[in-house]
């Protein structure tokens, strides 16, 4: 299979998996709008990951043009859901800390299992 086609299948598998994880497992206190924001955010975060960009709140705010609190709200739901893993790292100035995210190992395993079939 060509690399381009394999990449396209991988992207479709990721989209389907994220749709399933978010839409089929809603939180009790969650609105449909919040779920749609999470799906959109994951699309952006996946693209950032593919481009090897660090998933920090500052980078997410810069790309999405959301407010910091708006981005934080959506990202926090994805962390709560287990789709993203959060770690604390040094900020870009090296003096403080920053929240950095990555797609969780569980999601990566589900995706690799789906993509290999």
Tens-digit pLDDT profile for residues 43-98: 999 999 999 999 999 999 999 999 999 999 999 999 999 999 999 887 777 778 88
Check residue 92 and report its DSSP letter: T
- In the chain, domain spans: 3-115
Domain at 3-115, CATH from 2.60.120.860, 1.10.10.10, 2.40.50.140, 3.40.50.300:
1.10.10.10
Summarised one tens digit per residue, pLDDT across range 8-45 is 887 888 999 999 999 999 999 999 999 999 999 999 99
Query: 88: which 2 tokens?
Result: 């604390």
Prediction pTM value? 0.86
Alpha-carbon distance 13 to 22, whole Å? 14
Is 78 in contact with 38 (CB distance < 8 Å)? yes
């Amino acid at each position: 299979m060509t690399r381009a086609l394999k990449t396209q299948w991988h992207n479709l598998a990721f989209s389907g998996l994220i749709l399933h994880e978010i839409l089929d497992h809603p939180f009790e206190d969650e609105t449909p709008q919040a779920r749609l924001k999470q799906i959109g955010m994951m699309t952006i975060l996946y693209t950032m990951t593919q481009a090897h960009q660090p998933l920090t709140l500052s980078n997410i705010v810069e790309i999405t043009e959301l407010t910091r609190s708006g981005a934080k709200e959506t990202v926090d739901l994805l962390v709560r859901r287990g789709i993203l893993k959060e770690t604390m790292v040094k900020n870009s100035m090296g003096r403080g800390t920053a929240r950095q995210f990555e797609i969780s190992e569980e999601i990566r395993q589900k995706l690799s299992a789906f993509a290999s079939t």
